[in-house]
Amino acid sequence: MRRQGRTDMMSRRSMAVAGLVLCGLFVLTAAAFSAGGGAPDIIPRLTGADDPMGDIKAPPLDRPVTDDVRRMRNYPEQPPVIPHSIDGYQLTLGTNRCLSCHKREFTEGSGAPMISITHFMDRDGQVLSDVTPRRYFCTACHVQQTDARPLVPNMFRDAKDIGATQQ
């Protein structure tokens, strides 16, 4: 109880010092803006000469790979890529065109691989009779394979190529 007043006084003193430091920084910043005629232009624009709030046309998508060849996955648990065009596929709350070929009942007629059993499991591991809502929107995980050139060099090395080699 005796030191309570002293601690309270020290915290008040600390708050006063912090307030003075912030005021000093504000004064220095204001002086720099007024001397330079405005905000310093040290950050380059990311949008180029275009108006940042204007409509910018999206670049066209690259050509889809449509050979229907199943690609090897790069790592365990990687969602497989879509080896065909999905232009015009409707994927809404009421309609999922992917399921018209990949649902268990339709794979024999379509020749498409059946979706994984994990797509029928809810959060608790309970297997449902239909696709679980959290796995319903396929393009959240699966992407269409295109012939796009990489934006950055790919330095990926498979786990089997890393580490000691067996003789």
Residue type, 152: V
Burial class (CB in 10 A: 0-12, 13-18, 19+), 97: middle
pLDDT for residue 137: 92
Encode pLDDT of 16-60 as tens digits: 888 777 777 676 666 655 555 555 555 656 666 666 677 778 778
Q: Model-level pTM?
A: 0.56
3-state secondary structure of 58: coil
Query: Among residues 110, 121, 59, 113, which one has the least CA distance to residue 81?
Result: 113
The mean pLDDT of 140-160, rounded to a whole number, is 85
State pLDDT tens for residues 85-127: 888 888 888 899 999 999 989 999 998 999 988 899 999 989 9
pLDDT of residue 164: 65
